[in-house]
Structure 1
């Protein structure tokens, strides 16, 4: 399997960096081919601006969606973005590895998504009809490919539990897993999360590293999160509301968009420091 590993941490000697090395070494030991994008080391430009669209005329107002569409269609994106798109198309799988900062990914990684997930590549794909609404949420360019998050968090696991003060980790990561990865078609694997990362000592690192190695050994076979497909019949089109017979009528929240009846994993695979 060909894997693109996108790493976002400013310190190579961090816990996140050490886990990156463990993961890549194990993936390669299993026979996978890995390409690494190290955003901080590469000096990745995170903001979307006029410089991203060389064809945009000075008198034109920047409309990022339109500019992205035109630049991607005409192969006129900047060289750094085109290099990352080539990696995405080359890869059978994508791993995003980052610390959880203020309940989200670091800005540099969000900027990688903003610039690389171009219109026509990751969104705006497929035709609309009475029965479908384009190729997204289970369909799209990356359908059939796998994706996963490796995340380090400072809080305790209990703080991210279903009744924890920080909110459930599955909910916090939903915008990334469902909104960034599942949207363009990836089969999204349960994330690997390390808690109390700032308190982890050398003795505590060893079992977590072994847990991560085990996850990498099963990377090609572990069942993905059973998110509901947009065009699979669970949603009314064009309202995009779940059919009224699905779930408790009074229920709300992200969990409704996971089909618990399917034989697929939603269990968070985690490690606690």
Structure 2
């Protein structure tokens, strides 16, 4: 079986690529577990001073794997929760550059928001479809998204589920830069190497200071989001009722 994750370490930086392109890099249990293990390993490696997170074309990450959801239902959701891969990105001590090459939807959008900042391809699109799937966000969406784009745009995206393209994402502050698709990884690597050029412990301290300030105002909100998401875990019948509709919509948008 092909490993659904690629890791390339060089020049003090690591490129982590979600590699299920046939499934738009949706989070299968294997991918979620592999991603968590790889991120923890890289974060513990003093030689890795920056991480780039991206997806194999054509998507960054479509979020939940609807086929796994259909097959395994609650067991699949529990496996994703146990992997903690979505929240883990935002908890790393190592700086993370998100290179968004295509669609980042729902859980995949939360994955991107865990990065310290995002660089986007001109093909990147973003959407929060949690409400349409029938699952409350539990990976930081309701805290990290308003921190990036302000409460108005955050609520608009979560309430409407509308797709935001790269140009609009830049305008509202969701991403820091938009580049031609073929230039995305080169640009992300350049930024990661700039980070890696600094003393590793110093850079981790700078990130720790930023995170401390952020946690002072949002840490409790993250806890509330997680508790509500767990308490409001939907019945499998409700998820199954929405699954086919969401799958069709995602195929049209990705």
TM bin (shorter chain):
0.3 to 0.5
Length-normalised TM-score, structure 2: 0.33
Q: Which has the larger radius of gyration?
A: 1
Q: TM-score under structure 1 normalisation?
A: 0.31
Q: Between Structure 1 and Structure 2, which shows a larger proportion of helix residues?
A: 2
